[in-house]
Chain A
Amino acid sequence: MSDQSLELKGSLFPLSVLSCPDLSLNALQQQLQQKLAQAPAFFYQAPIVLNLTEVEQAPDFDAIKQLFNELNLVLVGVCGANSSIKQQAQRAGLAALQLGKDAKTVKATDTAETPRQTTLVTNNVAVPMDSRIIEQTVRSGQQVYAKGADLVVKGTVGAGAEVIADGNIHIYGTLRGKAIAGAGGDSSKRIFCYNLQAELVSIAGNYWLSESLQGSFWGKPCCIKLQDDQLVLAELV
């Protein structure tokens, strides 16, 4: 088209937020590798934001970038940093992002459960979830993200389409594409669908591809949840 011109539009993207109390390279590397081993494909070239709320002294951003690079992660920016750390991050070519209100709950839950562990953020714990409702079918090539909310799709999610929610996902048609619930890391979230034929389902970073889903629930109504870090399929009564 000859009337094509530059276009700049605001948009929202799901990003994983990494919180790690110890930002020394060794500790970070070790813990990240552990985390990645659980779901290598899911995090492959994933954009990551480093949460620096707890951090008082600026880490070596260039070295951290290098490390992420080696682990096939993409460090896009930092959040929660004080102003001098923020400046150094910006000098290293990182974006300074605003930390969402609800992400504040991270620290409390994390330290209670898994002290001094790297977590790809768990948030929204006590905040009541909004829901986003999609009236039609989500078609191949389309992506819907319900940020900080449940997602309800009245129609079908086509092959090659992707639905993502920080909360639960409800699909009243057939799920043929990908569904990613608990995208913010909340492992209590679930996926409900009327007919399971998915390419991928994931809850809080734990995912299954369609081959693993070819059991008695394939083509049937089904609820997917996470139990002891394992995805479990159950009947939708």
Chain B
Amino acid sequence: MLIETKRFLRRFMGANVVNNWVVILIISSLLLTINAMIYINDFHFVGSSMFALFLIVILVPVMLHGAIAGERERRSWDMLLVAPITKQQIIAGKFLGVASGIAAIIAVLSISIFASDYPNGDRVLTGVTVVLVIAAFAYGLAGFTLFISARSRRSMTALGVVYGCLFLGLLVMPMVTATANYEQAEFWLYLNPFYAVSQVNAERYVYTESVFSGAASQPLRNGYFLYGVLHTIVYFACGMLFLYLSTLALNSEGWEHPGANKETT
């Protein structure tokens, strides 16, 4: 189902190309500024990988929120559902259509990641791990967005729910738990890709001469490479799980008002 990719490209390269790219440019420069403020001294790879993650967090929900809810809204969904294809095929088609787009974005972003400074050397190993974590997170998020889209009647609702969940899971929960209870904070941070990409580096400090005084006492950190690999696996697995859950939610109604589409003409 290459058609999804084609439509996506047309939407972003086509008629209102200026609008779309202006928005993306504004977001990008904003993020770059924030990054520059944090990593003021050099072009640190944590900065560039966080920038990549920011873009992923913003773009992936935009790319996928309407995949199914949008079809319901547009009323093209029933015509797809009456075709002799299985629900798995529909989900796979939707996912693969966007997956190539995500791959392209990550390929572009990884250029800047690999070009960054790695103060402690080992550019390839650290760089690859970071890119893997980011890619896995992107696909996991894609699966999650597709799932929410499969359960919503309106694409805007889906987008709101996804951004809301991201805001809660990546920002609010780590902050709240960090002030309340350190153990839980570790759990929320562990799930957090922004933290993960910085940890890949932090572990290198542990291995060479430790800069963090408390670092050695934390049992989870037994090697920076393993750390990132685990994230990659967890994110991918979550993505697959959400894809599976999406196939269960492919009715023609959506979850908001079951049976509310009784049109009277």
A in complex with B: no
B residues neighboring A (CB under 8 Å)? none
A residues neighboring B (CB under 8 Å)? none
